[in-house]
Amino acid sequence: MRIANAVITVSDFTKSELSNELKGIKEKTHTIPLQSFISTKDMKAEYPRYIDGQYILFVGTLEPRKNLDNLLKAFQRISLTHQGLKLITVGKDGWGNVKISSQAKELNIEDKVIVTGFVSDEELLSLYQHCDILAMPSIYEGFGLPALEALSLKKKVVVSKFNAIAEITGDNVFICELHHEAIARSIEEALNASPHQLANVGNDWSNIAARTFTILDSEDSRVSLK
């Protein structure tokens, strides 16, 4: 990175992390946020329900940094006042031996927690479209594509302040601390909210390519002048 003409990051959060670790690269580090991978066609399509009723959705690899233990504790608290609400977790097992089903049983919410594992693209789109909230209260998240995809479908998302999605403005983005009480408060706020000024999330990757080449051209010129 020190010898590179330019460094491209996907979030200001990542840029800050890099700048703290490697002195002298801040000026040539540029943030270009990612776009949703969901196509315009899929954004407009209506998918049949995969899960009936109200539910909170989590999408991602099941590993400790996703803070799933605190999400489950938060959901336990929320479920006391929101009868019928479910928590759906989608994703493959990662490192750390995270056992959602076992913890859900310990919290006496096993009948309200559904662990799907891997799902097809069509099933995932259905889960995004019909969820009440996508929750991603990660301990650390360089970006958070599932939250971005949910926002592109105009859904409400709850993310921790250590998630790059927290940089996106919109009244359907709810930011929380990491402990379960804070997550529960943000979920409760999101459930009761009726957002009107939604986050503006697109899927135009050609715009990202154009911005990247503009930055590279600019940095090349600056190097040549030196």
Give a yes or no: residue 1 inside a domain.
no
Question: What is the three-class DSSP state of 107?
Answer: coil
Mean pLDDT, range 70-96, rounded to an integer = 94
CATH number for 146: 3.40.50.2000
**What residues make up the domain containing 26?**
7-34+204-225
pLDDT for res 36:
81
Sign of CA dihedral 159, 189, 74, 116: negative
Mean pLDDT, range 62-85, rounded to an integer = 95
Indicate if 96 and 146 belong to the same structural domain: yes
Alpha helices in 80-196 (DSSP H): 100-106, 121-130, 145-152, 180-192
Indicate if 131 and 185 belong to the same structural domain: yes
β-pairing, 55-59 with 86-90? parallel
Mean pLDDT, range 24-32, rounded to an integer = 88
Give a yes or no: residue 13 inside a domain.
yes
The tens digit of pLDDT for each residue in 158-168 reads 999 988 888 88
pLDDT for res 134:
98
Inter-residue contact 78 to 184 (CB < 8 Å) = yes
- Tell me the two tokens of residue 67: 């803070």
